[in-house]
Amino acid sequence: MADIELFIGNKNYSSWSFRPWIALKHKGIAFKETLVPFDFENGNPKFRDFSPSMKVPVLKDGELTVWDSLAILEYAAERFPDKGLWPEGQKERALARAISAEMHSGFSALRGACPMNMRRPVEKLAVGEDVKADVARIVQIWDDCLEASGGPFLFGDFTIADAMYAPVVSRFDTYALTDAPVAARYSAALRETTAWQAWEAEALKETWVVAVDEVEV
């Protein structure tokens, strides 16, 4: 059994859990998965047993506990330096960290209006100008990165930056938020990975319903 344990929430909804999960899985890093659903309005009281922040995801590696998606990914990059979780070049690493941090701290309008919901039928959602601005900025990031790297992922090979933007790919597709060719190309690259397909297959089987994440058209 793997020494590393990753605590996650519902696969259908938990965008923050998806980020470290897809990175570890895609890079072939062994870990034990423990799913604790947030089927309560404010999470789940059981989170207290393993999460200092009362949120998911949380990674445990022996006596060490790491919470917050980006912190988990940074730890994994140091713990497994041969896995290429950050780009090799110094300039590329700096850019990958910058866009990862921007995703981590920004795009609140998109997050609020369009929760990740993999079970939701694909249907265009009317959104406000603030969400459109978030979408435009993300598309520009993808366009710039893919033009520079040649793809298929933002920095050529899959990195933490792709893990950070994976839930956005799901949101863009579910709510039909953009018809930009670069978004379609990048979405296809991520969706074709074995890790994405494994997560999505399990997400679609879940029966939990979190009302606040079920957006009406």
Asked whether residue 216 is domain-assigned, the answer is: no
**Helix, strand, coil content of the chain in percent (nearest 5):** 55, 10, 35
Q: Are residues 60 and 102 in the same domain?
A: no
Residue 75 shares a structural domain with residue 95: no
How far is it, in rounded angstroms, from Cα 54 to Cα 45? 8
Give the pLDDT confidence score for residue 208 in this predicted structure. 85
CATH number of the domain encompassing residue 190: 1.20.1050.10
Q: Is the pLDDT of residue 48 over 80?
A: no
Residues 101 and 177 in one domain: yes
Query: Residues 94, 188: one domain?
Result: yes
Tokens of 16: 């923050």
Tell me: the pLDDT tens digits for 203-215?
Answer: 999 998 877 778 8
Digit-coded pLDDT (tens) for 125-150:
999 999 999 999 999 999 999 999 99
Give one DSSP letter per residue of the chain, joined into a string: --SEEEEE--TTT-HHHHHHHHHHHHTT---EEEE----BTTB-GGGGGT-TTS-S-EEEETTEEEESHHHHHHHHHHH-GGG-SS-SSHHHHHHHHHHHHHHHH--HHHHHHS---TTSPP------HHHHHHHHHHHHHHHHHHHHH-SSBTBBB--HHHHHHHHHHHHHHHTT----HHHHHHHHHHHTSHHHHHHHHHHHH-----GGG----
Distance between CA 55 and CA 92 in Å, rounded?
Answer: 31
Which structural domain, as residue segments, surrounds residue 17?
4-83
Of 65, 83, 101, which residue sits at a domain end? 83
Q: Place 42 in a pLDDT band, splitting at 50, 70 and 90.
A: low
Structure tokens belonging to residue 94: 């700096």
- Check whether residue 51 and residue 24 sit in a common domain: yes
What H or E segment, with its residue span, contains residue 4?
Answer: strand 4-8
Question: What confidence category does residue 54 fall into, taking pLDDT thresholds of 50, 70 and 90?
Answer: confident
195 lies in the same domain as 97: yes
> What total number of domains does the chain contain?
2
* Beta-bridge partners for 153: 156
pLDDT tens, position by position, 86-129: 999 999 999 999 999 999 999 999 999 999 999 999 999 999 99
The whole-number pLDDT of residue 106 equals 97
Co-location of 142 and 116 in the same domain: yes
Same domain, 101 and 195: yes
208 falls within a domain: no
Indicate whether 165 belongs to any domain.
Answer: yes
